[in-house]
Amino acid sequence: MRIAVLADIHSNLRALDAVVDDIATRGVDEVVVGGDIVGRGPQGAAVVDRVRELGWPSVRGNHEDYLVAFSREEVDPDWLVSDHWNASRWMAAELGTERVDHVAGLPMEHRCVKAPELLVVHGTQSSNTEGVYAWTENERLDELVSDPGIDVLACAHTHRPLTFERPGGLIVNVGSVGLPFNADWRAQYALFDRDAFGGWSVELRKVAYDRERFLQDYEETGFLAAGGVTSALLYKEVEHARPFLVPFLKWAEITEVEPNEEHMKLFLERFDPTLSMKELWSQLQGIARKERLG
Ligand SMILES: [Fe+2]
Ligand SMILES: [Fe+2]
């Protein structure tokens, strides 16, 4: 029995197609998508259509939630006009209402049909914004696999692949297809194998795709021009396979400056994307301190 779980495609059709081709060569019995199909990229409509054509079940990520909220205007009224949210409005419009209705109907979790002991969620069973990270405490990990009916929990959301073997079962963060944050730009997903004795193992796959062409799509679709600072920083994330957008917004918040283009340029002169999350946080505070003094 072999199950593929892929997630965090983030509107990157080039990366998704590479994974589809890879899965086709791996003798897979079932494929499940772990959410964040859309958002943070220019090809949301094409990606939703491709996943539906393939008939792969998916759970709902936080980016599905965001775009549904934007499309239905269930957000702060200021976000419907402010330049700061141009990228989100562009992505919601690009999806169109029929696809928005489709992603709004996706479930929060999915048990595999051929292996019901394998549960797929976007973040955790509690929330699609709770990430499982290298520093998640064992106590929390054990809670996630405390249900005796679950042997494997496949999650995503953090864009960083990880594996934990706990007494209650295997927990695997499958990483990201379209926007990895582990400094490796290849499209990443997981293959789960069940042996004859019911034991599970996992292989974390990395698949090269035409990233240069995808960066060209950013321009050709109009997303780069329309999305302002947000699109510019997402473009950087694709280039470096590291987070830029959230660090910038955090920096702007702690330095109490507007997250506009001028400040983005300042930030990019000082920001080192190769740092770990912990180093990043202290660096951001260091930058903020200097900005306030200067
Ligand atoms: Fe994501
Ligand atoms: Fe997410």
CATH of the domain at 68: 3.60.21.10
* Distance from the alpha carbon of residue 290 to the mean position of ligand 2, in angstroms: 32
d(CA 290, ligand 1 centre) in Å:
31
HEC string of the chain equals: CEEEEECCCCCCHHHHHHHHHHHHCCCCCEEEECCCCCCCCCCHHHHHHHHHHHCCCECCCHHHHHHHHHHCCCCCHHHHCCHHHHHHHHHHHHHCHHHHHHHHCCCCEEECCCCCCEEEECCCCCCCCCCCCCCCCHHHHHHHCCCCCCCEEEECCCCCCEEEEECCEEEEECCCCCCCCCCCCCEEEEEEEECCCCCEEEEEEEECCCHHHHHHHHHHCCHHHHCHHHHHHHHHHHHHCCCCHHHHHHHHHHHCCCCCHHHHHHHHHHCCCCCCHHHHHHHHHHHHHHHHHC
> What is the phi/psi pair of residue 2, to 5°?
-130, 125
On whether both 81 and 164 belong to a single domain, the answer is yes
* Residue 62 CB-half CA count within 13 A: 14
Cβ atoms < 10 Å from Cβ of 163: 14
Lowest-confidence segment of 67-71, 193-197, 270-274 by average pLDDT: 270-274
pLDDT band at 155 (very low <50, low <70, confident <90, very high): very high
Distance CA(36)–CA(58), nearest Å, equals 9
Residues 292 and 166 both lie in one domain: no
Could you say which ligand is closest to the alpha carbon of residue 65?
2
Tell me how far the alpha carbon of residue 241 lies from the centroid of ligand 2, in angstroms. 16
Same-domain check for residues 188 and 259: no
Q: Which of 159, 189, 207 is the last residue of a domain?
A: 207
> Domain limits at 269?
243-294
Q: Which of 156, 185, 207 is the last residue of a domain?
A: 207
- Same domain for 81 and 175, yes or no, is yes
Assess contact for 107 and 60: CB atoms under 8 A: yes
Least distant ligand from the CA of 62: 2
For the cut 90, the answer to whether the pLDDT of residue 188 exceeds it is yes
Residues 174 and 126 placed together within one structural domain of the fold = yes
CA of 246 to the centre of ligand 2 (A): 13
For all residues of the chain together, what is the average pLDDT? 95
* 228 is a domain residue: no
Determine the pLDDT at residue 114: 96
pLDDT, tens digit (0-9, with 9 covering 90-100), for 217-228? 999 999 999 999
- Per the CB < 8 A criterion, the answer to whether 160 and 130 are in contact is no
Residue 198 near residue 221 (C-beta atoms within 8 A): no
pLDDT number for residue 284? 77
Q: Which ligand is nearest to the CA of 237?
A: 1
195 alpha carbon to ligand 2 midpoint, in Å?
A: 31
Per-residue confidence (pLDDT) for residue 116, from 0 to 100: 97
Nearest ligand (C-alpha, residue 59): 2
**Do residues 152 and 199 lie in contact, with contact meaning Cβ atoms separated by under 8 Å?**
no
Q: Ligand 1: distance of its center to the CA of 140 in Å? A: 21
Tokens of 168: 């209650």
Q: Which residues surround ligand 2, an ion (CB under 5 A)?
A: 36, 61-62, 157
What's the one-letter identity of residue 142? D
187/108 same-domain check: yes
How many domains would you assign to the chain? 2
Q: How far apart are CA 250 and CA 188, in angstroms?
A: 27
117 and 261 fall within a common domain: no
Do 78 and 202 belong to one domain?
A: yes
Residue 82 pLDDT greater than 80, yes or no: yes
Please determine, for residue 292, whether its predicted confidence score (pLDDT) is greater than 80: no
Ligand nearest the Cα atom of residue 175: 1
Give the ligand with the smallest distance to the CA of 245. Answer: 1
Of the listed ligands, the closest to the CA of 12 is: 1
User: Looking at the domain assignment, is residue 214 inside a domain?
Assistant: no
In a domain, 78, yes or no: yes
Q: Are residues 123 and 18 in the same domain?
A: yes
Q: Which ligand is nearest to the CA of 40?
A: 1
Does residue 293 carry a pLDDT above 70?
Answer: no
